[in-house]
Amino acid sequence: MKRLFSEQKGFTLVEMAAVLLIISVLLLLLVPSLSDGKSRADEVSCDGSVRIVESEINLYYAEHKSYPATLEMIERASDTDPLVYSCQSSAYTYSPTDGSLQKQ
């Protein structure tokens, strides 16, 4: 009986190159989308934290009928400045006159 396949098994150099090319193209498409997702998740997390701080400022106003003079009064100030709230890589400046947080 005649054999249809040769005795040697394995992939040729061209087949291996094609597979590596396909994998590298898929990785090139995947990596930027993953890094964008992480930065977007950081932004969403920071936005949620800012909303919480704004709620605490409003609760302070409801209780004391004035906005807190600094963020230290609600224990949310940064380590360096009592009028700055830091979140991830963003910083927000607190205005005691109207109780608002503005992104720097």
Summarised one tens digit per residue, pLDDT across range 88-99 is 878 899 988 898
The Cβ of residue 71 has, within 10 Å, a number of other Cβ atoms equal to 23
* Number of domains within the chain: 1
pLDDT at residue 14, rounded to an integer: 92
Residue 8 lies in a domain: no
Residue 67 lies in a domain: yes
pLDDT at residue 79, rounded to an integer: 81
Residue 39 lies in a domain: yes
Q: What are the C-alpha distances in Å from 76 to residues 32, 68, 69, 90?
A: 34, 11, 12, 14
Residue 57 lies in a domain: yes
Q: Is the pLDDT of residue 3 over 70?
A: no
Residue 98 lies in a domain: yes
pTM, whole model, 2 decimals? 0.65
Residue 5 lies in a domain: no
Q: Is the pLDDT of residue 86 over 70?
A: yes
Summarised one tens digit per residue, pLDDT across range 9-21 is 788 899 999 999 9
Residue 90 lies in a domain: yes
Residue 58 lies in a domain: yes
Range of the domain at 84: 14-103
